[in-house]
Amino acid sequence: MKDKAGAALMKVHRSYLAVIKKLTAADLVVGMAHITGGGITENLPRILPKTISAVVETGAWTPPPVFAHLQQLGSVEQEEMLRTFNMGIGLIAAVPAEKFRRAKSMLDRAGEKFCVIGRTVKGDRKVIYT
């Protein structure tokens, strides 16, 4: 796994430009966060209004195995993993509930792999993990 971990970490990430263009052209999103250094914890709040928080369901997706390897290798707490790495979520699109079916249909037709990882709630621009 050691050699595979290095290769996985050096792999060029995919470009989200095509899907971003489709979602924005159809006016289906109210915000998008590219999940880079800082993970979901630091990147997602940047697109939230001051009175909104995001509830992220960590069981909604399976992170690639490299993250479990790194977590074990470094004895890293889960909270730190979520703050440091994207955990396999490269882009978060905030889609209003009333536009979700249309967005899902568009993404399905385009062959985009995606998952619903949470929702917004009243709050103070934080990420709440469940």
User: What span, in angstroms and rounded, lies between the C-alpha atoms of 69 and 41?
Assistant: 20
pLDDT for the residue numbered 2: 56
Q: What is the DSSP string of the chain?
A: -HHHHHHHHHSPPPP-HHHHHHHHHTT--SEEEE--TTHHHHHGGGGS-TTEEEEE-GGGS---HHHHHHHHHHT--HHHHHHH--TT--EEEE--GGGHHHHHHHHHHTT------EEEEESSS-EEE-
pLDDT for the residue numbered 3: 63
CATH superfamily of the domain spanning 2-129: PurM-like C-terminal domain (3.90.650.10)
Domains of the chain by residue range: 2-129
pLDDT for the residue numbered 13: 76
pTM of the entire predicted model: 0.86
pLDDT for the residue numbered 77: 94
Q: Phi first, then psi: give them for residue 107, nearest 5 degrees.
A: -65, -40
pLDDT per residue as tens, the chain (130 positions): 556 777 776 777 788 899 999 999 999 999 999 998 889 999 999 999 999 999 999 999 999 999 999 999 899 999 999 999 999 999 999 999 999 999 999 999 999 999 999 999 999 999 999 9
pLDDT for the residue numbered 1: 58
